[in-house]
A and B are shown apart, each in its own frame.
Chain A
C-alpha cells in the first residue's frame, strides 16, 4: 500500500509539472481525456462485468452536443459541458434499459448495434455537419472568469476534472454500491438470492459509466476544438476496450496506463509506420487476449495478491 501511495504521489507531481517539462500540452490533454474515458469504461467492464462495445456513442454524443451548443449557440463553457454530459447520460439510460436485458456477448452486440444507430444519427442529423463534423469550437472561459484559450489553463482544468473523476470512481468502487456491483459480477445468482435488484444496479452502473464517458467527450471537444464522426465510431469503442484491457481491467489505475500507451502509440507511431497503426493495434489486441488478460497493472499486482 505504501508503494502505491508513493506511486500516486509521483504521478501527481509529474502531472502537475507537465507544462514546465516542455511536453506538448494538447497531447497530454488528449491523453487525459482518453484516460478519463477508459476509467469510465472500466467502471462498467472491470467492476460491473459488462462488456459494452458501443461506448464511443456516449463519448461522441457528448462531444457533439458540447461542440454544437458552444459554437452554434454561443453557450458558455460550463453550461455547454453540462448539457453534453446530460445528453450522454440520457442516451446511456435509453441504451442501458435495452441492453441490460441480455448478458455477456449479447450485451456486447446490442450495445454495438445501438451505438451504430447513434453513429448514423450523427452522420445524417442536420446540425452535426455530416462528414466534416463540427469545427472551430471555442473554449470560452470557465464561469466567465477563467479564460481557457491558453493551453496551460485548459490543461489544469482537464487535470482537475481527471483527478475529480478518478477520486469519484475510487469512491464508487469502494462504496457499498460498488461492493454489490462486484458481487453481481462474480455471481449473479447469489446476488439475486441475497435480495438485490441486480438489474437496477446494472442500469445505474451503465448510466454512471455513460455519464463519465460524456464528461471525457465534452472535454475532448473543447480541448481539440472539434467533434467528428471518429468520436462516435466503432473503432473508438474498440480503442477504449483496448486501453482498459491493456492497462488492467478491474484495476483503478490500469486504464490510465492503457490510455497513455495507446494514445502515445497513435501519436508517435503513426509518423513512423503510417497506416500500419491499425494493424499494430489489432495485433496488440490479439496479444492481450492471448497472453496477458489481466493487463499491465493486473499482472504487476497479481503475485502480491496471491500471497
Chain B
C-alpha cells in the first residue's frame, strides 16, 4: 500500500471523499443563504432548522406514508418550501424596512421554535434512514473503495448548484431577480410582482436547504439538532466566500469541505475549528471575502 506522510493513500482519499460530501451540503446550504440574502437582505438563521425539517419530512414520509426516497427527494423540499412561504408571509415581510439584524434575530427565534418542537416530538436520539437500494453498495476503483451513495450526493449537489447558478446568472428570470436585488421599487414600477418574487425566493432557498436535508438523511443520523451547528459552519463559509456571491458560496463550500476532510487525516483535533480559523485569516487579509466585492 502506498503511503503519504505515513498515512495510507486509501485513508486520505476516503477522508477527502467524506470531506467532499460535507462540502456538498455546505455548498447547497450556503447557496440558499446567499440567494435569500441577495434578494431579501435577510440572513436566514433558520436555514439549519429547515435542513433538519427536510430530513424529518423524508423520514416521516417513509415511516408513516411509505413514501420512498425518490419521491421524498421532490416532495420534502416542496413541503418545506411551502412552510417557508408561510413564514415569509406571516413574519418576514414585516421586517424588510428595518435593520437586517432584526431578520437575523427573528429567524434565530424561528430556529429555536422548529428545533425545539422537533426535539419534543421525536426525542433527542438520532434515527437512521435507509440508503435506497439502487444507490447502496460500493465500487472498487482499484486505488480506493467508492460508496455509491456518496458519489450520488456529490453529483446531485454539483448539478443543483450549477443549475441554480445558471438560472440566476443566465436566464430572464434570473435577470429579473438580480434587478430586484439592485432596485426593487423601480422593478415594481415596470410591472413586475416583486412581493411574489421575494416569497418565491425564500421558498426556493428554504427548499434547497430541505433538499440537502433529504440527501443527508441516509449518511447521518436524523435528529432535531442536525442543522444546529452546521448553520454556523455555513455562516463561516458564506463569510469566506463573500456574502451574496453565488459562485463564492458554492466554490468555498466544496473547498472547505475538502480542507476539513484533509485536516481530519493530519490533525483530527483541529477538524472542527479549521473552517473558523480560515474565516479569521480571510477576514484579516481580505475583509470582503474571497469572491466578494466591497
Contacts and interface: CB of A to CB of B under 8 A. Distances in A.
Contacts, number: 118
A109 B43 contact: yes
Interface in A72-127: 98, 101-102, 104-106, 108-110, 112-114, 116-117, 120-121, 123-124
Contacts of B43: 105, 108-109
Interface in A263-278: 274-278
B286 to A, nearest CB: 10
A242 to B, nearest CB: 8
Interface stretch (B97-105, B148-156, B200-208): B97-105
Interface in B104-155: 104-106, 108-117, 119-120
Majority DSSP secondary structure for residues of A touching B? helix
Nearest to A124: B269
A110 B228 CA distance: 16
B74 interface: no
Contacts of B115: 278
A196 interface: no
A283 B114 CA distance: 10
Nearest to B49: A282
A113 B272 contact: no
A252 B20 CA distance: 49
B112 A51 contact: no
Given A116-B232, A278-B116, A279-B116, A289 B102 contact: yes
A278 B287 contact: no
B146 to A, nearest CB: 30
B243 A289 contact: no
Contact of B112 (A98, A116, A117, A278): A278
Interface stretch (B64-72, B189-197, B234-242, B247-255): B234-242
Interface residues on B, range: 35 or more
A200 to B, nearest CB: 17
A146 to B, nearest CB: 41
Contacts of B269: 124
Contact of A282 (B116, B228, B243, B280): B116
Given A105-B43, A105-B100, A285 B279 contact: no
Contacts of B109: 281-286, 288-289
26 contacts: A51-B105, A102-B287, A104-B101, A105-B43, A105-B101, A106-B239, A108-B101, A114-B276, A114-B280, A116-B233, A116-B236, A116-B276, A120-B273, A121-B273, A234-B228, A234-B229, A245-B105, A276-B120, A279-B112, A281-B109, A281-B112, A282-B109, A282-B112, A286-B110, A286-B113, A289-B95
